[in-house]
Amino acid sequence: MSTIEVDPAIFLSGSLALGAMIQADPELTPGTILELGEGQQGVIFRRDAQPKIAIKLEKSGNETKPKSLRHEYAMHQNVEAAFKKHREVFSNSKKAKVYVPSVSTLVSPRTEETEFPQVWKSIDENFPQYLDARGNIVFMDLIDPLPKDVRRALVAYYNPPDSEEVRDAILHTPSNMHCLIRPYLGRETGPLFQPGPAGPVFTMRNFPLYLSSILDLQLDTITFAIAIGRAFAIMHWGAGMDGVGVEFALGSALKPAHYWNQHQREVRLYLFDFGECQEIDLIREDMTPEVVYEFFKEAMVRGDNRFYIPHYSRWPELFGVFKKAYMEAGQKILREGGLSGIFDVERFLEEYEQYAKHMGF
């Protein structure tokens, strides 16, 4: 049924729930390469082929920096491996899961004439403005965006256009076609428009879904809090990563049981963007609990991390759900790794609350 015939709030309430099945009709010609925008390390593209892939092309000069694309590739591999190793953390819930897109290949410019000439040829032909930006390239699984009907409902609910022409322009902006939604459990409200050359722009790439909207749409905050709590625990105690700068976002994916129907997609919560992360070696002698706790709690209040985590004092019940999920997952991982006698997850979370309060958050 078209969203024109359905109240957009009702449509979004059913379409943004974790595990919801939604209809997604193809919008791009197979083989199309679309520029999505810039990340911390470089320019991001999507390629609609089989399999669909995301491509990151490193900015010129970034390869010599500590937080290079090569660094992000290594961090992504670590987190992906940890989520596979500890997948049983999510086994008792069908919906409270977080997925990490698989990262496959890092291509260096030095391999241009040998292994991957078609990569550079494709980039050069489609995006000649990046001819001088021959940095590293990383390929990973594409997080399928939320489909056009969801975008149409977002526009109708949050930014009703003056005309169909304006609406269609918003819906078909390339970056908006890759619609991912960030669930901000720790921020009640905030701006929906991003600065643009001609004024504020309504964008649906990394659309902020604030807690007030989550509640208004009657989405399941408990499931979100459990999933995000478990994900932070795996990052910290399974991958040994501080988690600085990571992103959580709602996207979609084909379920194995629905491969026969390419238009039916499941709404999922994804974790990605590890370029700012720092590896914390939990078994190194100088990494005492005090040092490790300091790294982790600082990361939890930096950037958007503090918006994904429910606020400890404003929404104590929801934070309690996050805390319980984090603690159960963290304790299990530490026991399995033989580190439960060294690190105390409950104490760490108490220190996090004190630290957040001290920082004025």
* 178 or 33, which is more confident: 178
List of residues 6+ apart from 6 with CB closer than 8 A: 153
Residue 119: helix, strand or coil by DSSP? helix
pLDDT of residue 189: 97
Per the domain annotation, does 64 fall within a domain? yes
List of residues 6+ apart from 29 with CB closer than 8 A: 48
Give the long-range contacts of residues 42-48, CB within 8 A, separation 24 or more: 42/69, 42/133, 42/135, 43/127, 43/130, 43/133, 45/123, 45/127, 46/142, 46/178, 47/142
* 150 or 200, which is more confident: 150
* 359 or 119, which is more confident: 359
The pLDDT-based confidence of 38 (bands split at 50, 70, 90) is confident
Task: Tell me what the pLDDT averaged over the chain comes to.
Answer: 90
The pLDDT-based confidence of 6 (bands split at 50, 70, 90) is confident
* 309 or 259, which is more confident: 309
pLDDT of residue 128: 65
Q: How far apart are the first and last CA of the chain?
A: 43
Q: Which of 223, 243, 284 is nearest to 82 (CA)?
A: 243
Per-residue CA distances from 291 to 209, 296, 343, 351 (Å): 34, 9, 11, 12
pLDDT of residue 62: 85
Q: Which two tokens stand for residue 236?
A: 């910290």
pLDDT of residue 4: 46
Alpha-helix residue ranges (DSSP H) falling in the chain = 8-15, 69-85, 117-126, 148-158, 164-171, 174-177, 211-216, 221-233, 289-300, 305-308, 316-336, 345-358
Mean pLDDT of 87-114: 84
Q: Which two tokens stand for residue 215?
A: 């509640």
pLDDT of residue 111: 59
**Using CA atoms, how far apart are residues 305 and 48, in angstroms rounded to an integer?**
30
Domain with 57 in it = 32-141
Per the domain annotation, does 348 fall within a domain? no
Residue type, 98: V
* 293 or 110, which is more confident: 293
Instruction: Report pLDDT digits (tens) over 206-222.
Output: 999 999 999 999 999 99
Instruction: Report pLDDT digits (tens) over 243-259.
Output: 999 999 999 998 776 56
pLDDT of residue 131: 53
Per the domain annotation, does 72 fall within a domain? yes
List of residues 6+ apart from 70 with CB closer than 8 A: 63, 106, 136
Per the domain annotation, does 90 fall within a domain? yes
353, pLDDT greater than 90: yes
162, pLDDT greater than 50: yes
Domain count, the chain: 1
Per the domain annotation, does 71 fall within a domain? yes
112, pLDDT greater than 60: no
**Using CA atoms, how far apart are residues 312 and 144, in angstroms rounded to an integer?**
32
Give the DSSP letter of residue 6.
S
pLDDT of residue 110: 62
**Using CA atoms, how far apart are residues 163 and 315, in angstroms rounded to an integer?**
39
Instruction: Report pLDDT digits (tens) over 117-158.
Output: 666 676 677 766 665 556 788 999 999 999 999 999 999 999
Per the domain annotation, does 25 fall within a domain? no
Q: Which of 224, 231, 226, 227 is nearest to 209 (CA)?
A: 224
92, pLDDT greater than 90: no
Per the domain annotation, does 238 fall within a domain? no
2, pLDDT greater than 50: no
**Residue 10 near residue 219, CB atoms below 8 Å:** no
Q: Which of 137-151, 185-199, 255-269 has the highest mean pLDDT?
A: 137-151
**Residue 68 near residue 39, CB atoms below 8 Å:** no
Rg of the chain (C-alpha set): 21
Cα dihedral sign, 150-250-166-127? negative
Instruction: Report pLDDT digits (tens) over 218-243.
Output: 999 999 999 999 999 999 999 999 99
pTM: 0.93
**Residue 95 near residue 121, CB atoms below 8 Å:** no
Mean pLDDT of 197-206: 85
The pLDDT-based confidence of 107 (bands split at 50, 70, 90) is confident
Domain of 63, CATH number, reads 3.30.200
Per the domain annotation, does 130 fall within a domain? yes
pLDDT of residue 1: 40
The pLDDT-based confidence of 261 (bands split at 50, 70, 90) is low
Burial class (CB in 10 A: 0-12, 13-18, 19+), 161: middle
As a whole-number percent, the residues of the chain with pLDDT over 90 amount to: 63
Mean pLDDT of 192-208: 86
